[in-house]
Amino acid sequence: MKNTQNNYTVENAISPLDGRNRHKLENLHLYFSEKALFQNRVNVEVQYLIFLSKYKIIRRLTRDEIEKLNKIKNDLSYSEVRTIEKRTNHDVKAVEEYLKTKLQETSLKDVEGMIHFGLTSEDINNLAYASMINGCIRFEILPLLQNIVLRLKRDAGNSIALSMLGRTHGQPAAPTTLGKELIVFIKRLEAEIEELSTAQLHGKLTGNTGGMNVHKLFFPTIDWIDFSRNFVSSLGFVPDVATTQIQHYDSYIRIFQTLLRINNILLDLSINMWTYIMIGYFQQKVIRQEVGSTALPHKVNPIYFEGAEGGFEIANALFEMYARKLSKSRLQRDLSDSTVRRSFGIAFGYSILSYQSILHGFMRISPNKQAILRDLQDRYEILSEPVQNLLRIRGKKNGYDLVKQFFRGRSISKLDYKKFIQKLPITEKDKKLLQKLKPESYTGITKHSIT
């Protein structure tokens, strides 16, 4: 088989994330590519060496030497690291050897032997992955989610007074307003976005099986618990010192489950919007040069809401698997989590694509006010609710059954409704109250701003 490894192009990419959708995910490689993983590993190794100097385990590093270390991190040569890895067959060992080679070219060659001192690969990996996840959430995920909320708030404000037929079990029910229905999603999203924005990833630097054995043996006077906590905190993570070889993934899982809930809320929104478009409550923007169907030229399809739905299903399948898989490890360590971690970018990528699709979908639709009101105005059967409840209030026995016998399973006209009310055993004042009701005015608190 011909080796085309060095001839990558978008058109021969296997994953849609790196292929047809790459232009929509320009920044994703900054967080979840192999190069990004190596860069974050190098950063942890570099910061560790600097911390060894702070605690006087190695000689004091000058400001110029610290700058050189950071430059090595920023100027990482992915190809060089990969060349080393092909020999070592170990990615973190390749990072260690790469750094040693680079230090040999500087005044730091006398401390190159202390790179990775007393550490295990997972001391590096857990902090590297935490940095990748944290960066993607902060700079990519949260801004998109906040834009979705802003878009929903704008549309909700414009339609808070637009009465709309409610549907429960798919059947006509008490009226609502379009704006209120959007506010429901806003409130759900805001609660989860708050969870996501305040979530804290944990990290560890505790050695081979969690005891910093080598550290304590050779430098017994150092407070290594203090060292570990301060080092992890300096990278922006909550330190754990009671660990096995790995950092348990509980903080990762909390974030994945929050993202899963966010995605499910937006999946629900996508399905609702698709349904409203189907029944004509929304008009879709017609773009002249686009094609909706190869068979039916008239069609304008709600492809962005459909695309978001599919993307959320893929992302959530992975997030669910992460929560199941990463909560377990065989004794102090097994390697199966390493394979799983490398797929994080897929779950984040499909989530981002779906967030973008939601925004595109809302840009292409507008409420069909006439259709919404027309559908509602003809539904006097939904006023069975206030009628039967007034009979309850007035103490009329069998009031519910009386209303049920007239209304159930029927489409009731305005005239039929008024005739029915006129025959009820209630006062003229109560009859006037009920006869003044219209489906479009029976909206309760929903025409007010619900905060």
Give the active site residues.
169, 293
The answer to whether residues 172 and 227 touch, using CB atoms and an 8 Å cutoff, is no
The answer to whether residues 84 and 97 touch, using CB atoms and an 8 Å cutoff, is yes
For the residues of 249-263, what is the DSSP string, one character each? SHHHHHHHHHHHHHH
Tokens 């069909």 — which residue? 368
Q: For residue 262, give both structure tokens.
A: 């966010």
| Single-letter residue type at 430 | D
In whole angstroms, give the CA distance from residue 341 to residue 125: 10
The answer to whether residues 326 and 314 touch, using CB atoms and an 8 Å cutoff, is no
In whole angstroms, give the CA distance from residue 12 to residue 21: 13
Q: For residue 241, give both structure tokens.
A: 């010192």
Q: For residue 96, give both structure tokens.
A: 């260690």
CA distances from 263 to 27, 327, 357, 398 (A): 20, 21, 12, 46
In whole angstroms, give the CA distance from residue 225 to residue 101: 30
For the residues of 150-184, what is the DSSP string, one character each? HHHHHHHHHHTT-EEEEEETTEEEEEEEHHHHHHH
CA distances from 115 to 12, 101, 149, 227, 404 (A): 39, 11, 46, 16, 80
Q: For residue 5, give both structure tokens.
A: 């490894």
The answer to whether residues 389 and 400 touch, using CB atoms and an 8 Å cutoff, is no
Question: Computed from CA positions of residues 440, 442, 446, 448, in that sequence, does the dihedral angle turn out positive or negative?
Answer: positive
Other C-beta atoms lying within 10 Å of the C-beta of residue 225: 13
- Greatest alpha-carbon pair distance for the chain in Å reads 101
The answer to whether residues 234 and 47 touch, using CB atoms and an 8 Å cutoff, is yes
In whole angstroms, give the CA distance from residue 276 to residue 74: 50
Cα 242 to chain center, whole Å?
29
Expressed in angstroms, the distance from the first to the final Cα of the chain is: 63
